[in-house]
Amino acid sequence: YIIPYGLYRGHGFISANLAGDAKKGTGFSAEDLELLFDALINMFEFDRSAARMEMNAQRLIVFKHASPLGSAPSQHLFRRVKVEQRPDVKVARAYSDYIVEIDRDGLPDGVEIIERL
């Protein structure tokens, strides 16, 4: 069987509490975070294969917390991102066949949304 188009959604976490400086944590820095964002956005650009064909990142949505222990539960934030196939599309063949919305209303205090792409 061939799947002509697939839209994958992934969740990731960085623990600011564990990152910290080199003495208290891993030493993960703001520069490291930018490198990670760039890697996620470009992860398939230089590694084309028959298995991945034209896989690519379409959008990076990050919930940044003011508190090292988090300003809101992750599951509540992830629910704010809704992905639905457009009602007029019978079979999705492109990213544009989907509606991606972020509920920004009433965002918890200390949470900022960062978008890339």
Q: Is 113 helix (H, G, I), strand (E, B) or coil?
A: strand
- What is the DSSP secondary-structure string of 34-90? HHHHHHHHHTTTT---TTTTT-----EEEEEESSTT-SS-HHHHHTTEEEEE-TT-S
The answer, yes or no, to whether residue 49 has pLDDT greater than 80, is no
pTM of the model: 0.85
The answer, yes or no, to whether residue 89 has pLDDT greater than 70, is yes
Average pLDDT over residues 45-69: 82
Cβ atoms of residues 42 and 35 within 8 Å:
no
Structure tokens at 22: 């080199």
Q: What is the pLDDT of residue 101?
A: 97
pLDDT, one tens digit per residue, over 6-37 is 899 999 998 878 887 667 778 888 899 999 99
Residue 77: other Cβ atoms inside 10 A: 22
User: CA separation (Å) from 12 to 36, 63, 115?
Assistant: 11, 10, 14
pLDDT, one tens digit per residue, over 100-114 is 999 999 999 999 999
